[in-house]
Amino acid sequence: MASLRWLTPRRRSATARSVLAGEASAEAARKSEQELHEQYEREQARERAKQEAEAQKRAEGKAEGKAEEEAEEEPPFPVEGDDRAAAFFDLDNTVMQGAAIFHFGRGLYKRKFFERRELTRFAWQQAWFRLAGVEDPEHMQDARDSALSIVKGHRVSELMSIGEEIYDEYLAERIWPGTRALAQAHLDARQKVWLVTAAPVEIATVIARRLGLTGALGTVAESVDGIYTGKLVGEPLHGPAKAEAVRALSAAEDLDLARCAAYSDSHNDIPMLSLVGHPYAINPDSKLRKHARERDWRLRDYRTGRKAAKIGIPAAAGVGALAGGTAAAIAVHRRRG
């Protein structure tokens, strides 16, 4: 029965290790953003002109029949040019279908990092994730413990390069177009957009860059001279640790959390959602849906084919405006000693 311990949920709260994990993730995210800022800005500048032209065409083509919808709209959000506002997106089942760590495991297995029995374990974990529709903290930590043992002794740069390949092989087709459009709305409003995930920060950074986002907050694995030690800095970025990471990054970036937005599918992220002035429940599990309705939070569900809601400027409604997120692959080499 010991091998099934990840099936049993347990309660967790903010601890000193949560704070450490959050602060380490925020520091790693800011370093990554600084290293790639100039290249990111060049890509965004080229794509913005294309996006604006496409947005204008969509706005003109869809003007008829929208009078009733627009009459009920709330004030435009996100607010154009509000540089003290940002958006924070959970990854698993919010931005993409399923768990990124599972698909990362598939990619490593394909490259002979481990044996079939470990792949079977990953498969069972993913099956449980899809069946339950929620993140169980112990289940997710068990998956990350397996991943840490697999990458121990490998170079950080090697995993980053492999992460680029795995994104193309497994992740690109699993991105929710509706959530991606929400993220693009913030980018078009000239706001920063961050992934916040329990996945390794290096892999999260690859995903963020491939989607055209600002960067990522993720679990920080310890490395010495660019080689993984098999240990974590603090704990996995899950639950309260995510909130601590957002808090730390917001302080460093001089953001006003009351003007920021956060998006998640899981009740485990209620601490993060509760930090911001604009919380969204995306593809919510039952507990988060209930919590969101009680507090009048906005809900979006892209699992049933429902129409994605427009949340501000016209570019938010169109998936075509997101071509910038598929810019050429960027090999991200992190340097931590």
Which entry of 82, 83, 92, 188 is annotated as an active-site residue?
A: 92
Q: Retrieve residue 156's tokens.
A: 């950080």
Active site (annotated) includes residue 92: yes
Which entry of 83, 90, 254, 256 is annotated as an active-site residue?
A: 90
d(CA 5, CA 10): 10
Task: Tell me: cis bond preceding 200? Omega within 30 of 0 counts.
Answer: no
User: Measuring CA to CA, which residue among 223, 244, 250 is closest to residue 19?
Assistant: 244
The label of the residue with tokens 């969509």 reads 58
| Stated length of the chain | 337
Number of Cβ within 10 Å of residue 40's Cβ equals 20
Residue 308 vs residues 78, 96, 148: alpha-carbon distances, Å: 16, 15, 37
Active site (annotated) includes residue 168: no
Residues assigned a catalytic role: 90, 92
